[in-house]
Each structure stands twice: as structure tokens, then as C-alpha cells.
């Protein structure tokens, strides 16, 4: 066929006639079908989706509340890990624990924390030893030592302490809610165990403030035109929109104000309209207990032991605590947080039919309850249904009318222009590549014909593009391989330079002969020790050790023997220093220095005498002029209390003065600076 010839299409086969006619018939059927489908299928699903959107608010509450809980749990685990390796020294606890609480615990809701040891595990002669800090009105941490008072009830039988004995490492336990007797702030305690060498030695706690939950829940509940509240694992209220219904305030015999939140069953007894919600809350707790009891790992003896060890833990609560410690999986089967969803005929606060959803808060076994008016949930679905149905009918009607007016302008004319453009670009000598079906007896048949002709023209061009692309891909692969090899070389060079820097840094701070700190390291460390002792208001001691008659020793045995002798002296001094805080350094030549923090003159003198005797006990032969037969050392000791009026240079001078006196007094002896006149 001549490429320049055109196809002719009969009017009854033309798309210009058939398409509008068919479209009009389909639209009439579509409008009727949409009305039926929307009424029978879409409306129930929209109503169901509305309830899901309402329940999503509850899941959001759980997630946002979980962020605070996660911060408290992370802090508790950090305190537990730190306490497990922290030396059993009070000053270390007083220094490190509050810093960790301040660094990891936001002061807006983390209001306290501390370490609580088992009886006699911290100090053999003290039953109680705790380190607890609480935030004051300014948000600063204050140390509280009342818990160690022998006249107080103590803390080993508290509800937040006893379950800690049965926690595995890395696990936490959330206490029941309570009101602080001093600040009247509702709070809960997160407990984590301390294990030293696999043995339980106590717990750490983090106190989480619950104040402000009402405002948090009210803000979220506005989205559903209802309200929300939370209860702990025992059903005690953590929050409620009307606190006058859930909070009791009374004065004890001593005239002190006491505030306590009631349980859900207590409110149900006072207000029968609340009974359906209370029953659902306790049914969830019962489900937790039943799941645990059906498990092979449930230990009734543990529950009895917890009830016996706790001062105010009932047998029922002990069983619930035992169930919580097993961490049973709650929620829906798909892993969601929703425990129950039901409707009520009336509500205590809203006084109309409501949709109630109960959500599980993982880890704490608290429950968040959302109450939404059914009218609000249904109104959204009805509004969406009406708007969607009207929009669909109007859209379909507009499409029918517009099809007759715009089909020729929007479809047929552009198609004719496109066909004309393809026909004008035809090269009849092009080879075939892929052709369309030309059997259509309409405009698409014409389009297919000219498209196939154009396709043959594009065949050669596409083949050339394939060749060029292959060449480009090969070049890219070669460049990529070269870049990878270059990167490997650069990485190796970087590693080599890092190792060299580390080696040079070590050489700069250590004496190459004795492998102890050199004079430069000593000069850098002494001011730091001095400043630290001044801040702690503790004494700082300096011990200067000098080998007796070192020059005659070198003259007699040679310099290599002298070097070996200095190495043995340094090793012996290092062995005499048992603490991690002391610092030994080569002070110069045959002279060594030891910085002894937190040490008075008596303790430093004892260490110096130990060093002197141990070096003499080495029995290194020394037959030089004036020697004692073996290598000995003279030691000068000085201890000072750093203040604003003295300096560490004075400490060095006093130690040198004592060392000079030891030399002058006959060598092989220890002289304390305080024993010298003047």
C-alpha cells in the first residue's frame, strides 16, 4: 500500500458517533449503581472507618505516653548498669548517680531517682544503704537520706522494691500509682534490678510525675468530642476529667493533709452509670491474670513470697504482680493495643450513648480509656456519605454533558493532528521493528498504520542508541572500578596515619625506658589532681623516690645494668600502688614521683615505706662506694590540703625538701615533710 494514501472510515464505525452513545448509556447505569452501592456497602464501611479513626486517637495517646515511659525505663536501665559496676564507695555514688539522673532524666516529669541496696550488701555493718535524690521546687536534685534512718520503717518491704528481686537483668517494673506525701503530686516508680557477678544486690528507681495527664488527655479527647482517662494495673485512677469524683482528700491524726486516688470499682459503686466502664477495665486485668495462670511459667509460690515480703501487698495484688513479671502479651490478635471496644446506652459525664475503647499501655499494664459520643462518630460517616454521593452524581452528570461538547475538541481533533504529524515524518525505506494491529476499522486503525511505518524508521535509531549505551555502561564500569581501588588505597593510608598518630601520642606521654608516665605527663596531671582535691576538700600527697648512689652503680655495673635497675624500680613501685587514682611518673634521671589523691601524711608515709622496703627486698647487688650492698632508695613525702592560698609548686618543693633530708640523713629511708623543722 502506498504510504501516502489515507484510510476512510464509515460514519457508523466512527468513534465520534459510537463513543458518546455508549458513554451516555453507561453513565445512566453508573448513576443508579453508585446510589445502590453507596447505600449498601460504602455507608457501613464509612461508619466502621469513623470508629477506627476515633480509636486511632487512643493509640496516639498510648504512643505519646509511651515516649515518657521509655525515657524513664532507659534511665532506670542506665542506672542499673552503672550501679552494677560502680565501686561500693559512697563518694562514687554521690558523684555519679545524680549526674546520670540529671543528664538522662528531663526535669519536667522525671522528679527523682536513686539506688537502693539489699541488707548488708553495701556495708557489712549497715542493713540499709540507699542513695536517693528528689527534685526540689527549682527542679534541682536534693539528696534524701531519711530512708536509711534505723527508726524508720525502711524500704525493703515497699511495693516498688519487692518485685525487683524477681526481675531479670535489663527488665523493669512499674509500681502502682501513689501521691507524694510532701508535694501531693501523683507519681509512679520504675524499678530495675542490680546484679553484681550474677547476684541480686538491690534495685534502682526512677520516679515519673503523673501531674498534667488530665490536660494531656483533654487535649487529645477534643478531637473526638469526648473524654479520656487512665488507670493503673490495679484499676486505680491515674487521671480523670472530673478529679472531684476520683480524688479523696483528708487530714490524718497529726493534722497532715493526705490525698489519694480511688479505684474504678469505687467510682462505679458511687455512680452506677460508670459500672460498664469499670467492669471492662477489671475484665482486662482478669484476662492478664488468667493468661498468666494458664502459663507453665506462673509460680504461685512467688506470689505468696511477694505477699509475705511486702508490707502492704495483698495476696490478690501479689498474684497480679507475678503475672506482670511474666510479661504476658495483651492486645488484639494482630498485635494492636486495643483491648476492648463496645458501646454504652449512657455515660456518667456525657449522658448519651457512647463508644468506649480500652487500650493497653505496654510494659506498665496501665489502661487508657476513650469515651466518644456515638452521635459524633456517626456524624462523620454520614457527612462523608452524603458529600461523596452528591459529588459522584454531579461529576458523572457533568461528564456526560461535557462528553458531547468536548469529545470532538479534546479527543478526535488532537488524534487527527497526531496522525497527520506521523504521516508527514514517514520514511518508506525504514525497516520494520514492532508493528501495531491494523485491523481496526476506525481512526485507531489509521493511527496504527502510520505508527507502524514510523516504527520502522525508528529501528535504526534505537539500534544505534543501544550500541552507544553499551559503550557508556562499559566506561562507567571501568571508572567505578578505578574509583573503588582508589578509595581502598585512601582508606589504608588513613588507617596507617591513625595508627602512627596513636603511637606518637603514646610516646609523648610515656617514659620509653620504664614504661611509666614521663615528666611531661606528670606536669600535666598534677594541676588536675590539685584542682580536684581542692574541689573535694581532700588532701593531696606527693611521694618522691630517688635511687641511692646511682652514679657509682653505673660506674660499677655499666649503663645497661643501670637501665635494668630503673625498670625494676618502676615495676616495683607500680606493684605497690593498688588504687586506680594514684599516678606514678619518672620525675627525672633516677628519680620517680607518685601522686596520691585523698591521702593524708600518715597514709602517704605508709605507702612510701612500702615502696622503700619492697625495692630493698629486690636485693639488687650494689657494691659501689658508700652503698649498702643492695640497691636502696631515699623517699621524701609531703601532703597538703589544697586551698586558695597555696599551690602545687609548694607541694613539689616540700617533697623535694623531705627527699633532700632523707639523703642527708643517711639514705635508704623515708622522711615526711611534717617531721622537718621550720
Cα separation, 361 vs 230, whole angstroms: 10
Distance of CA 38 to the CA centre of its chain: 47
For the chain, give every domain's residue range: 53-376, 519-675
Burial class (CB within 10 angstroms; exposed 0-12, middle 13-18, buried 19+) of 183: middle
Give the span between the Cα atoms of 386 and 381, in whole angstroms.
Answer: 9
Residues 6+ away with beta carbon under 8 Å from 150: 127, 128
| Strand 583-588 with 591-597, pairing | antiparallel
Interior angle at CA 342, CA 55 and CA 324, nearest 5 = 75
* Sheet containing strand 227-231, strands side by side: 237-239, 227-231, 366-373, 354-361, 338-344
- What are φ and ψ of residue 308, in 5° steps? -75, -35
**Is residue 234 within 8 Å of 264, Cβ to Cβ?**
no
Which residues does 592 contact at the CB level (< 8 Å), separation at least 6?
516, 544, 545, 546, 569, 570, 573, 584, 585, 586
Question: CA 634, CA 630: separation in Å to the nearest integer?
Answer: 13
DSSP letters for 511-562:
-TTTSSB-HHHHHHHHHHHHHHHHHHT--EEEEEEEETTHHHHHHHH-HHHH
Question: Closest Cα partner for 175 from 366, 332, 342?
Answer: 366
Fold observed for domain 53-376 = Beta-Lactamase (3.30.450)
CATH class of the domain comprising 519-675: alpha beta
> Which segments of the chain have a pLDDT < 50?
332-334, 428-432
Residues 6+ apart with CB under 8 A from 375: 352, 353
Asked if 227 contacts 356 with a C-beta cutoff of 8 angstroms, the reply is no
Instruction: Name the nearest CA neighbour of 668 among 637, 639, 620, 631.
Output: 631
pLDDT at 259 (0 to 100) = 73
DSSP 148-165: G-TTS--STTSTTTGGGG
Name the nearest CA neighbour of 533 among 607, 599, 608, 594: 599
Record the cell numbers describing residue 572, joined without a space. Answer: 616495683
Question: H-type helices in 242-345, by residue range?
Answer: 243-246, 264-270, 275-294, 300-309, 315-325
pTM above threshold 0.75: no
Residue 195: strand pairing partners: 200
Beta bridge partners of 113: 133, 206
Q: Which helix (H) or strand (E) holds 492?
A: helix 443-509
- At residue 204, the pLDDT reads 97
What pLDDT is stored for residue 68 in this prediction? 86
C-alpha cell at 50: 469513623
| Residue 116, helix vs strand vs coil | strand
CA atoms within a 13 Å half-sphere pointing along the CA-CB vector of 283: 11
Amino acid at each position: 500500500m502506498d504510504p501516502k494514501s489515507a484510510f476512510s472510515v464509515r460514519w457508523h464505525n466512527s468513534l465520534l458517533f459510537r463513543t458518546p452513545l455508549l458513554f451516555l448509556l453507561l453513565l445512566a447505569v453508573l448513576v443508579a449503581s453508585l446510589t445502590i452501592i453507596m447505600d449498601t456497602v460504602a455507608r457501613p464501611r464509612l461508619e466502621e472507618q469513623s470508629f477506627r479513626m476515633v480509636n486511632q486517637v487512643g493509640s496516639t495517646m498510648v504512643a505519646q505516653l509511651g515516649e515518657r515511659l521509655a525515657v524513664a525505663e532507659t534511665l532506670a536501665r542506665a542506672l542499673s548498669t552503672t550501679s552494677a559496676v560502680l565501686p561500693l564507695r559512697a563518694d562514687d555514688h554521690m558523684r555519679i548517680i545524680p549526674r546520670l539522673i540529671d543528664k538522662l532524666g528531663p526535669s519536667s516529669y522525671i522528679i527523682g531517682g536513686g539506688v537502693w541496696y539489699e541488707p548488708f550488701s553495701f556495708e557489712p555493718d549497715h542493713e540499709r544503704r540507699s542513695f536517693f535524690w528528689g527534685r526540689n521546687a527549682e527542679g534541682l536534685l536534693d539528696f534524701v537520706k531519711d530512708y536509711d534512718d534505723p527508726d524508720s520503717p525502711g524500704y525493703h518491704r515497699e511495693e516498688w522494691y519487692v518485685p525487683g528481686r524477681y526481675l531479670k537483668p535489663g527488665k523493669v517494673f512499674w509500681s502502682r500509682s501513689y501521691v507524694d506525701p510532701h508535694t501531693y503530686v501523683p507519681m509512679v516508680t520504675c524499678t530495675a534490678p542490680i546484679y553484681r557477678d550474677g547476684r541480686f544486690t538491690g534495685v534502682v528507681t526512677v520516679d515519673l510525675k503523673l501531674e498534667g495527664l488530665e490536660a494531656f488527655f483533654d487535649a487529645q479527647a477534643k478531637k473526638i468530642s469526648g473524654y479520656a482517662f487512665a488507670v493503673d494495673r490495679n484499676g486505680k485512677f491515674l487521671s480523670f476529667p472530673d478529679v472531684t469524683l476520683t480524688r479523696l482528700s483528708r487530714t490524718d491524726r497529726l493534722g497532715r493533709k493526705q490525698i489519694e486516688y480511688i479505684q474504678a470499682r469505687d467510682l462505679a459503686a458511687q455512680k452506677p452509670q460508670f459500672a460498664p466502664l469499670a467492669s471492662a477495665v477489671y475484665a482486662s486485668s482478669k484476662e492478664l491474670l488468667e493468661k498468666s495462670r494458664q502459663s507453665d511459667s506462673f509460680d504461685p509460690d512467688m506470689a505468696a513470697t511477694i505477699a509475705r515480703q511486702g508490707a502492704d501487698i495483698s495476696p490478690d495484688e501479689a498474684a497480679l504482680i507475678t503475672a506482670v513479671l511474666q510479661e504476658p502479651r495483651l492486645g488484639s490478635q494482630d498485635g494492636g493495643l486495643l483491648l476492648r471496644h463496645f458501646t454504652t446506652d449512657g455515660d456518667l459525664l456525657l449522658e448519651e450513648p457512647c463508644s468506649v475503647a480500652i487500650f493497653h499501655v505496654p510494659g506498665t499494664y496501665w489502661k487508657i480509656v476513650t469515651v466518644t459520643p456515638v452521635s459524633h462518630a456517626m456524624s462523620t460517616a454520614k457527612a462523608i456519605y452524603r458529600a461523596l454521593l452528591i459529588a459522584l452524581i454531579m461529576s458523572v452528570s457533568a461528564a456526560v454533558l461535557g462528553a458531547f461538547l468536548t469529545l470532538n475538541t479534546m479527543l478526535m481533533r488532537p488524534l487527527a493532528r497526531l496522525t497527520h504529524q506521523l504521516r508527514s515524518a514517514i520514511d518508506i525505506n525504514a525497516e520494520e521493528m514492532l508493528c501495531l494491529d491494523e485491523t481496526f476499522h476506525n481512526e485507531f486503525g489509521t493511527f496504527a498504520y502510520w505508527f507502524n511505518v514510523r516504527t520502522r524508521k525508528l529501528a535504526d535509531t534505537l539500534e544505534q542508541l543501544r550500541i552507544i549505551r553499551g559503550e557508556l555502561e562499559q566506561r562507567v564500569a571501568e571508572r567505578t572500578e578505578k574509583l573503588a581501588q582508589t578509595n581502598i588505597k585512601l582508606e589504608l593510608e588513613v588507617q596507617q596515619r591513625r595508627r602512627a598518630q596513636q603511637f606518637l601520642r603514646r610516646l609523648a606521654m610515656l617514659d620509653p625506658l620504664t614504661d611509666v608516665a614521663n615528666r611531661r605527663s606528670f606536669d600535666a596531671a598534677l594541676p588536675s589532681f590539685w584542682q580536684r582535691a581542692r574541689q573535694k576538700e581532700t588532701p593531696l600527697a606527693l611521694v618522691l623516690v630517688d635511687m641511692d648512689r646511682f652514679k657509682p652503680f653505673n660506674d660499677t655495673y655499666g649503663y645497661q645494668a643501670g637501665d635494668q635497675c630503673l625498670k625494676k624500680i618502676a615495676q616495683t613501685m607500680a606493684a605497690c600502688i593498688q588504687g586506680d587514682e594514684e599516678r606514678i611518673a619518672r620525675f627525672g634521671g633516677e628519680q620517680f614521683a607518685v601522686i596520691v589523691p585523698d591521702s593524708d601524711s600518715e597514709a602517704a608515709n605508709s605507702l612510701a615505706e612500702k615502696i622503700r622496703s619492697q625495692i630493698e627486698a629486690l636485693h639488687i647487688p650494689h657494691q659501689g662506694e658508700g652503698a649498702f650492698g643492695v640497691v636502696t632508695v631515699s623517699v621524701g613525702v609531703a601532703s597538703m590540703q589544697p586551698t586558695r592560698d597555696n599551690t602545687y609548686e609548694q607541694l613539689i618543693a616540700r617533697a623535694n625538701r623531705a627527699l633532700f633530708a632523707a639523703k642527708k640523713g643517711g639514705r635508704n629511708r623515708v622522711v615526711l615533710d611534717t617531721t622537718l623543722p621550720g
